Amino acid sequence: MYGHATMTTSITPPNPASARRPAEWRDLIALTKPRVMSLVIFTGLCGLIAAPVRIHPVLAFTAILCIAIGAGGAAALNQWWEADLDAGMKRTAKRPLPQGRLDRTTARDFALVLCSGSVFLMGFAIGWLPAAILAVSIVYYSVIYTIWLKPRTPQNIVIGGGAGAFPPLIGWVAATGEITLMPVVLFAIIFMWTPPHFWALALFVKSDYAKVGIPMMPVVAGEKATRRQILIYSALLLPLTMTPWWIGGTGLVYGVSAFVLSALFLALSVRVGLRTRGEEDTMKPEKQLFAYSVIYLFALFAALVLDRFIVI
Amino acid sequence: MDEEKPDTPEPRSIEQIRKDRNRVLGLGLAAFVVLVFFISIAKMG
């Protein structure tokens, strides 16, 4: 059923209005999801700065640029594939493809140029190991998550969350040239953070996902199970964020910050996890958890970078 | 479709859209050339 919903994306005729008009460059930029990209750039930059090896500023800039372009390309591929689903959801209906301001072929070609360009530039300028990880992250997001998992399983976010966890790993490997325990832990932190972050959102936009047949956890397993899962992942996140300090990869600045930030995250999750939805519910705790989860990740990685410069 | 909604803003002409897009593309390519130059310098150093 969900597979069919996705299949229809490839056979929808192009919008005649968009066929006449060339694509606006602003719409092409919008395809790359610039707001999501800011978090990707930030975590990638933090991974690069937190690494114990200094890298030439031009090469550091290039590595981050490649991560950003790769993420933008993957986001554009995601929107190309899901144009019909996006049209059916209030949150995404105003994107360029559902509105017919772009034709699908342009979007797909633009996405492929960004993806391949970012991988080759990373390979030639920085190294082929970070380039390979970047390529894996693009395929992971656009094929494994968008095409395969998202329309088929309520665990889509859990496994697909790995796609967003790659940037600090790529940033670290771009600086050091090798994969060690610390960047893997950073990967694991974002991996573990993604389910409660997305499920908090899915709880208050549940009807949107249900309408287009995306099997998000609240749609398939119900709200109660989703709230319990949010609680479990948030509880696991606290010790995981402390791991960089426990293994000696960071100092006290990060250790204390991670504990305070994660404890607050857990407190907000407990509030969401233990409540039941009443009638005329505005879902305020869920919205607060979602908003805090974004601030949380920024603050946690900022603490990681600060820790490199402030020694207590 | 736009003719049915007279209150919507005047759509930009195709020439204007193309001109803007070419300008952005040109700037992007120029930035890429400059970046490759600096990458070469950095890697030689």
What's the N-to-C CA distance of chain A in angstroms?
A: 57
pLDDT value at residue A275: 87
Nearest to A25 among B24, B38, B41 (CB): B24
Contact with chain B for residue A11, Cβ under 8 A: no
- Average per-residue pLDDT in chain A? 88
Kindly indicate the confidence band of residue B6, based on its pLDDT and cuts at 50, 70 and 90. low
Query: Element (H or E) spanning A293, and its range?
Result: helix A284-309
Contacts A175 to B, Cβ<8 Å? none
Note the pLDDT tens digit of each residue in A87-106: 888 888 888 888 888 889 99
pLDDT value at residue A4: 37
Of A28-42, A160-174, B1-15, give the lowest mean pLDDT range.
B1-15
Nearest to A25 among B14, B21, B45 (CB): B21
A202 pLDDT higher than 90: no
Kindly report the pTM of this predicted structure: 0.83
Nearest to A22 among B18, B24, B39 (CB): B18
Q: What is the rounded average pLDDT of the residues A141-150?
A: 88
- Collapsing DSSP to helix, strand or coil, A204 comes out as helix
Kindly indicate the confidence band of residue A10, based on its pLDDT and cuts at 50, 70 and 90. very low
A310 pLDDT higher than 70: yes
Closest CA to A2 of A207, A214, A148: A214
One-letter amino acid for residue B29 of the chain: L
CB contact under 8 A, A24 and B38: no
Partner A, chain B 1-45, Cβ-Cβ below 8 Å: 1, 11-12, 14, 17-18, 20-21, 24-25, 35, 38-39, 41-43, 45
CB contact under 8 A, B43 and A59: yes
Task: Return the beta strands (E) in A115-201 as ranges.
Answer: none
Kindly indicate the confidence band of residue A217, based on its pLDDT and cuts at 50, 70 and 90. confident
